[in-house]
Structure formats: C-alpha cells, structure tokens
Structure 1
C-alpha cells in the first residue's frame, strides 16, 4: 500500500515587531559606545584630547539613545521591568548629559591637572555619584527581571546590565567586550520578540 507523502508545512512567517527593531538598534548603539569613545581620559595628558573629540559626543549620545530605545521596548518584558528600567534610565541619563556636554566643553577649554580635578568633581561629586549608582542598580534589577521572564535569552542582557557599573573601572578592551556582550544580549532579546 502506497501512502501519499505528508503535505509540506508552509514556511512560518515571521513578523518583525517594533520591540525587535528598537532592541536591535539599541544593541548596535551599545557596541558603538565603547568602540567609538576615546579612551585617553584616564590621564591628564589624554583627557583634553578625549573630552574635546567629536567622537566623545557621538559615543556618549549613542549610549543615551541606547538607554531610551531599550526603555521603549521594555513593555515586551513586563510592567515591573519596564518601570524599573525607566527609573534607572531617568537617574543615569543626567550623568551621561554631564559626560557628553560638560566634559566636552571643559576638554576644549582646559588642560592638565586642573581639567582632571574639575572632571573628577563633575563625575564623582556626591550627588552625581549617588544618583548614577542608584540608576545603574535599577537598570541591573531590570536586566535580572527580563532574564527571569525570558529565560536563557535574557541571561546575556542581565549579565551585561549587572556588569555595567564594574566595567567603568576596567581597561578599554574589557569595556568594549562589555559593549559587545550587551549588544548580543539585546539582539537575542529582539529575536524573542519576533512574532511567528
């Protein structure tokens, strides 16, 4: 007895969601951030060149846009993650504004030890430091909430968000690797938001 072959299954259509687009763009921007960012600001000799460079502005604005784009996509990952992300982003973005605009202008007008002292006061003033760290903690919590909700696909994103604060104290290569990990994590999450 000859049986007819089973009918071929039609290909599954994939619909790209707005969240997938936003997360993918954010992933690219979070890779751009450490790759484009001038790394010479750790020394007084390199700080003026780093701060005054147009690449300094581009890199930090890429991170700012990345935080906003992830926030716009967070609805896909639950209310708690969305609210926690926006609280964290709201606390972190003023610090990035100081990095983008204040340090850029200071780098154009100052040099040497005086620049380093003023830059340290901008970055590590008590209010700035507390608000920035609180924001990064909230973003880390949001990352963990996403991983809890999305499982394995959310783990790289959660690891990158938990590691966001420590990477600031690492060498440039580690900071770039962190940006790549975050980018990969966001692309994996973007794939989870595709609709079949």
Structure 2
C-alpha cells in the first residue's frame, strides 16, 4: 500500500515555478517520499520472508540471489530518495520564503548529478531482483505463479513510470501494491497449506 500512497499523496506541479516550490515545501512531499522509503525497507523484509518460506525448495538459491540483488538495489535507491525528501524540501521552503524561483535551478543539480547513476543502478537491480523472484515463485510450485509475475512487472516498470503523469504513476502504484499484496497473500496461503499437510 505504501507504493500506492507515495504517488497518490506526492504533490505534482510545474517544478520550475513557485507552485513547484510549494510542492517541495509541502509536508505531503516529505510524507509521500518517506512512505516510499518505508515501502522499500518492507520490500526487502518481505523477500527475506519469501526466502525463509522457500528455503528447503529447489529454488532456494534463486530466491537468495533475488533477495541480495533487491537488497543492494534498495541500498542504492534510498540515498536518492533522501535527497528528494530533504534537499528538495529545504530548497522549496527557502524558495517559498523568498518568493523566488531562483533556488529551484538547483533541483536538477540534486536530481541529475552523480546521484542519478547510483539511483539508476539501484532501480535496475530492483527490476532484476523481482524478476528472479517471479521465476522462483513460478518454479516453486508452492505459491501462486501469477503473484510473482505481477510483483515483477510492477518493479520492472519502476523506471518508465517516472516519466509519466500523476495518474500513470498512481496506476503504477496500484500495480506494485497488487503485486506485493498478492505475493504476500500467496506466502500466507502456502504456509497454511504446509501446516495442514
């Protein structure tokens, strides 16, 4: 749900204008991005649970690789979110205080400096890890096969969704939320079935 709330609550506007500064300065800017940060942390913890659930299966090694790649991907992604949360928020607050867009020229320096490369690597790993999860879930035979596919699709589309409008980004958030919830539900169902056996 956090990956859905992030784009739904995040203020969108022309980021080169005072409206953009107000968006950056908004408490919803901080809240929305923090929800994404918590979502990424919970993603890795969920995959740790998946690894535990599939530990004695033939796909154990594949799930472990998926977990490690996703963990590294989250580690490379979160610093960028930190810059979005705190640096852009501070720039927005000061631009609003000054009633000037001059500081907003620094937004691209925050977003597209060296950090963008670390962020891109993180998001690529966040695509590869869930794709490996989908393969492992499909091969496991113990979890809903399609839950892994929806999960992987959501994270594979993470980079392209950044170029979309708010409705597209919210729709992507729905896809990620459905994938995460379906996979989690599949894990719960799988554990209940194994206890009943």
Q: TM-score, structure 1 length as denominator?
A: 0.82
Work out whether 1:183 is the aligned partner of 2:188.
no
Change (3 A) 1:40 1:169: same
Unaligned stretches of 5+ residues in structure 2: 52-62, 139-145, 193-197
Q: Distance in 2 between matches of 1:160 and 1:64?
A: 16
Which has the higher mean CA deviation after the structures are superposed, 29-38 or 40-49? 40-49
1:173 equivalenced with 2:146 (yes/no): no
Instruction: Look up the match of 2:47.
Output: 74
Matched, 1:32 2:5: yes
1:84 matched residue in structure 2: 69
CA contact (8 A) 1:167 1:175 kept: yes
Aligned length: 168
What's 2:111 paired with? 123
TM superposition shift of 1:82: 0.8
Q: Deviations over 1:5-46 (max 9, x none)?
A: xxxxxxxxxxxxxxxxxxxxxxx1111100000011544232
Structure 2 counterpart of 1:19: none
- Identify which of structures 1 and 2 has the higher relative contact order when contacts are C-alpha pairs closer than 8 Å and 6+ apart: 1
Q: Which residue does 1:160 correspond to in 2? A: 154
- Supply the distance in 1 between the matched residues of 2:65 and 2:81 (Cα, whole angstroms): 24
Write out the 4+ residue segments of structure 1 that deviate beyond 6 Å after TM superposition.
Answer: none
Rate the CA distance shift 1:41–1:69 in 2: closer, same or farther, 3 A: farther
2:135 is aligned with 1:148: yes
Deviations 1:94-113 (A, max 9, x none): 00000011111110002554
Q: Residue 141 of structure 2 corresponds to which residue in structure 1?
A: none
Q: Distance in 2 between matches of 1:119 and 1:43?
A: 9
